[in-house]
Structures are given as structure tokens and as C-alpha cells.
Amino acid sequence: MCRKEATGIKVAWFNYDWFIGEPFATQKREACGRCAQKKYPAVPPEQRDTHADYQKFLSELEVRTLIYLRDGFSYEMKGMVDIGQRADLFTFECEPIDEQYKVGAFIVTVPYDEINRVETFAVHPSEKPEDVPVITGFRSSPTDATMYRDDAREARDELKQPGSCDPTSN
């Protein structure tokens, strides 16, 4: 996102090439690298390329991308779809969360200006969290997901052990 002062009004606009160019690929690599560094903090940077366990872990990581829209809806992006319209619309295949939607393929097109945030995270299949992010794109409204999100948070908080790491803290 870029900000520009135009006649005293702050205007935000999206860099349309962000998803197609190097920044998105860099964000995915960065997420994987940080995940591997977290797992193997004792491996010095100069040894990461040759450390067998570090490289094996890194190669097995899964990368997930969540797209949050200004209207409160969110989607997990399965992959980008090139339909030739890149001027103001972003088209991607959505990864359905609800079982009833997993029978087909869902292609979503949104105006770039409606994208509020993009989150990319890497996780090893053996370390996937039990509570997944709430994806609201298939609900009738973003507020329908609030009760599910609150229920998931309460369940997670009940499972926390004293002294355990809080995954939501930095």
C-alpha cells in the first residue's frame, strides 16, 4: 500500500503488481525462512543452506495466504487465476473451509481497492494449529463468523497450560 497526500486528503492505493511480482514471492519466502529459523534457532545463518535438518524442514513447509477485504470478509487463496484483467480486479481460486463448499472450485474476483490486508504464513504439516483462522467469505455476512471466532478463542484459552507460549504474542 502506498499513501499520497493529495490536496490535504490521504489517499491509499494498491500496487497491482504486488501479487504477480517479486514482493508476494518474497513475502512467502520470508514466512518460510522465519518459520524454519524459529524451529532451528541454534543454526547460524551461514550454515542454513547446508544444514540437512533445517533444509528438510524448510522444504516441507506449507504456505497459506489469507486475504481480508474492507467489508469484513476474508478468503484463503488457493492460487491466482489469470483471466487477463489486472487493471483493477484480482482473481483467485478460494480454498473453501466449510465442507459443503469443498465439492467444486470457487473463483473469486475482487477489486484491488477492496483488499485491506494480506497475511501469509508458513507452517509445518506436523505442527498445524488445531484452531484455524476464521474465513468469512462463505458466510452470509462477516458478523456471522464472530460467534465461531469467539468459541474458538475460548476453547484455545481453556487448553493453554500455565507457562506455555502464547501463539498470539510476539
Q: pLDDT for 45-100, tens place per residue?
A: 999 999 999 999 999 999 999 999 998 888 999 988 888 766 788 889 998 777 77
Beta-carbon contacts of residue 136 (< 8 Å; ≥ 6 apart): 72, 73, 74, 142, 144, 145
Q: How far apart are CA 77 and CA 100, in angstroms?
A: 18
Q: pLDDT for 25-44, tens place per residue?
A: 999 999 999 999 999 999 99
Beta-carbon contacts of residue 35 (< 8 Å; ≥ 6 apart): 61, 121, 122, 123, 124
pTM of the model: 0.64
Reply yes or no on whether the pLDDT at 153 is more than 50: no
Distance of CA 130 to the CA centre of its chain: 16
> What is the pLDDT at residue 41?
96
Q: How far apart are CA 86 and CA 79, in angstroms?
A: 15
